[in-house]
Structure 1
Amino acid sequence: MEYLQSYHCLLCYLLLALRDPALCAKEITVSPAKPVVKVGDAVTLICETTCSQGKPHWMKLDESDVTQNTTKNRSYLHIAAVHPNHEGKYTCTAEKCRKQKKETIQLRVYSFPVPVLSTVPENPVSGQPFKVKCTLTNVYHGDYDTVEMLLSHLERLETEHSKNCNDDRFCDHTWSSKNQMGTSKTDYQCETNLTIGPNSFTEKARLAIHFQGDAGDDYNDPRSIAMSPEQTETQTSEPVSTEGKGQAVEASSSTTTAMVALGSTVGFLSILCFLVHLIKRSKRKSPSSGPENHPDGC
């Protein structure tokens, strides 16, 4: 096919040199020429003709969700959400063209999600071995397309690759590193690449690992977690429970009242006793009577 196109171009140059460019005009063109569309995305294929009486249209399609809109010299083929069943060849025709009757293109479909990084075990322990995994789920591409992955931590890591596909050609890829070791916070990065013909797609993911048991890392020691001002305000503004304290205050108040009443009673009795003593003393004829001679004992 490439040789025929080269021959056609060469012939056009010769005819242009003979000042007959009309014979070299391409009567049907389709764009994009090599569509590559991600699963779920929309695409519109445009067919255009230069034939004066030719009206372009796309050949009969099996997919019911594909719509076609045709004007005088253009035909638009629209797919709202592409899926693998849409992959294949699409042909546009213009029957009244003198030479070129049709043009065919190949629609390529792919699925390439963002990778996910994880560790085994899930929470690595400082100074203990662990593995890093980079996972791609629901990847879809052609048989001759390639998927590559680069897992790095300061430098590229050696990995083991596993692949599992279902009947619809959607595949899960997992790359696992060899045993790693760490004692402080560190980063890992996974870069995946899908190549479809001349097209290349890249997705990246990054993982920050905090190790349990690292004495220098506050993240892993709840006893040394610094409290934020918001947390401090929250704790300060919490209502203080008064259950039990009111009873203690009430008991203390009652005790104080009882003590005051007792003191008042004792003071009253003392004054009364003193008055009785004065009255008795005034009635005694003996002028020299000491407290030891009082029979009342006050």
Structure 2
Amino acid sequence: MEYLQSYHCLLCYLLLALRDPALCAKEITVSPANPVVKVGDAVTLICETTCTQGKPHWMILDESDVTQNTTKNRSYLHIAAVHPNHEGKYTCTAEKCRKQKKETIQLRVYSFPVPVLSTVPENPVSGQPFKVKCTLTNVYHGDYDTVEMLLSHLERLETEHSKNCNDDRFCDHTWSSKDQMGTSKTDYQCETNLTIGPNSFTEKARLAIYFQGDAGDDYNDPRSTAMSPEQMETQTSAPVSTEGKGQAVEASSSTTTAMVALGSTVGFLSILCFLVRLIKRSKRKSPSSGPENHPDGC
């Protein structure tokens, strides 16, 4: 097919030089010429003809989720949300054209999400080994397309690659580094690249790692729940709350009330004893009183 197109172009150049340039014009043209669309995005394919009597029309097998609008010399095929089932060849025809009857293009579909960086274990400990993982989920592309990854920390790291695909050709990719070691905050970066023919797509992710358990590190890990000696001293020397003061005042008032009540009782008993003594003395001075000596009961 490519050879025929080459000969056609060569013939056109000869005709342009020798005769009428209009004889070399294509009667049907489609755009975009090589559509590559991400899963979930929209796309519109346009077919145009120069045939005076030919009306263009897209040939599609399933019209349930696509719309086609046609004018006198143009036809628009619109797909609102592309999915892998839309991938394939699309042909536009114009039956009344004298020479060219149809034009075909190939629609390519892909899915390429942003990578996710993580560590194993999830919370690395200072001075202990850990691994960094770069993960791509639900990647979709053709059999001859390539996916590459670059995991770096100051320089490129060696990684191990694993791949798992489902029946719909959506795949999960995971790249895992060899054992790493660190004692202070550090950064890792993952750069992934998908190549589809002449098209290239790149996604990047960065991860800042904070280490736990480093006593000599001035950086306090926000994920750590350990309390520093300064925090403990601050909590110990904190002033007593207002509620505690209220309880102390209440206890002091209760003690004062009890002491006042005790003093009142002692005073009452003293007065009572004094009255008893007066009564007994008056009885001893009375003539009717006998020779008995009544002891003082107080």
Q: Same fold (TM over 0.5)?
A: yes
Greater mean alpha carbon deviation, residues 266-275 or residues 162-171: 266-275
Contact 2:60–2:90 at 8 Å: present in 1 too?
Answer: no
Gaps of 5+ in 1: none
Contact 2:125–2:213 at 8 Å: present in 1 too?
Answer: yes
Q: Secondary structure at the match of 1:168?
A: coil
Deviation, structure 1 residue 59:
1.2
Q: Are 1:235 and 2:214 an aligned pair?
A: no
C-alpha distance in structure 2 between counterparts of 1:222 and 1:205, whole Å: 21
Deviation, structure 1 residue 118:
0.9
Rate the CA distance shift 1:292–1:99 in 2: closer, same or farther, 3 A. farther
Contact 1:218–1:225 at 8 Å: present in 2 too?
Answer: no
C-alpha distance in structure 2 between counterparts of 1:218 and 1:287, whole Å: 103
C-alpha distance in structure 1 between counterparts of 2:21 and 2:140, whole Å: 44
Rate the CA distance shift 1:129–1:263 in 2: closer, same or farther, 3 A. same
Contact 1:114–1:205 at 8 Å: present in 2 too?
Answer: yes
Aligned match of 2:138: 138
Deviation, structure 1 residue 3:
2.6
C-alpha distance in structure 2 between counterparts of 1:145 and 1:131, whole Å: 28
Deviation, structure 1 residue 250:
3.0
Deviation, structure 1 residue 231:
13
List per-residue Cα deviations over 1:202-243 (Å, max 9, x = no partner).
011111111111224455567999999999999999999766
Contact 2:45–2:77 at 8 Å: present in 1 too?
Answer: yes
Contact 1:161–1:175 at 8 Å: present in 2 too?
Answer: yes
C-alpha distance in structure 2 between counterparts of 1:187 and 1:4, whole Å: 55
Q: Secondary structure at the match of 2:67?
A: strand
Deviation, structure 1 residue 253:
2.0
List per-residue Cα deviations over 1:168-224 (Å, max 9, x = no partner).
111111111111111111111110000000000001111111111122445556799
Rate the CA distance shift 1:240–1:96 in 2: closer, same or farther, 3 A. farther
Gaps of 5+ in 2: none
Deviation, structure 1 residue 25:
1.1
Contact 1:45–1:77 at 8 Å: present in 2 too?
Answer: yes
Greater mean alpha carbon deviation, residues 283-292 or residues 99-108: 283-292
List per-residue Cα deviations over 1:237-273 (Å, max 9, x = no partner).
9999766754542332243355567779999999999
Greater mean alpha carbon deviation, residues 140-149 or residues 234-243: 234-243
Rate the CA distance shift 1:219–1:292 in 2: closer, same or farther, 3 A. farther
Taking only aligned residues, the RMSD between alpha carbons, in angstroms, comes to 6.0
Q: Percent identity?
A: 97
Rate the CA distance shift 1:225–1:135 in 2: closer, same or farther, 3 A. closer
Q: Secondary structure at the match of 1:273?
A: helix
Deviation, structure 1 residue 5:
2.3
C-alpha distance in structure 1 between counterparts of 2:174 and 2:210, whole Å: 22
List per-residue Cα deviations over 1:29-77 (Å, max 9, x = no partner).
0000000001111100000001111100011422510111111100000
C-alpha distance in structure 2 between counterparts of 1:106 and 1:197, whole Å: 12
Deviation, structure 1 residue 7:
2.2
Greater mean alpha carbon deviation, residues 10-19 or residues 218-227: 218-227
Rate the CA distance shift 1:246–1:185 in 2: closer, same or farther, 3 A. closer
Rate the CA distance shift 1:19–1:290 in 2: closer, same or farther, 3 A. farther
C-alpha distance in structure 2 between counterparts of 1:270 and 1:210, whole Å: 80
Contact 1:213–1:220 at 8 Å: present in 2 too?
Answer: no
C-alpha distance in structure 1 between counterparts of 2:265 and 2:25, whole Å: 129
Greater mean alpha carbon deviation, residues 120-129 or residues 234-243: 234-243
Q: Secondary structure at the match of 1:244?
A: helix
Rate the CA distance shift 1:246–1:287 in 2: closer, same or farther, 3 A. farther
C-alpha distance in structure 2 between counterparts of 1:231 and 1:68, whole Å: 70
C-alpha distance in structure 2 between counterparts of 1:98 and 1:234, whole Å: 93
TM-score w.r.t. the length of structure 1 is 0.79
Deviation, structure 1 residue 15:
1.7
Rate the CA distance shift 1:254–1:213 in 2: closer, same or farther, 3 A. closer
Deviation, structure 1 residue 82:
0.6
Deviation, structure 1 residue 21:
1.4
Rate the CA distance shift 1:261–1:60 in 2: closer, same or farther, 3 A. closer
Rate the CA distance shift 1:258–1:173 in 2: closer, same or farther, 3 A. closer
C-alpha distance in structure 2 between counterparts of 1:65 and 1:32, whole Å: 20
Deviation, structure 1 residue 277:
16
C-alpha distance in structure 2 between counterparts of 1:159 and 1:35, whole Å: 33
Aligned match of 2:53: 53
Rate the CA distance shift 1:228–1:59 in 2: closer, same or farther, 3 A. farther
Greater mean alpha carbon deviation, residues 287-296 or residues 148-157: 287-296
Aligned match of 1:273: 273
Aligned match of 1:64: 64
Rate the CA distance shift 1:145–1:289 in 2: closer, same or farther, 3 A. farther
Contact 1:215–1:221 at 8 Å: present in 2 too?
Answer: no
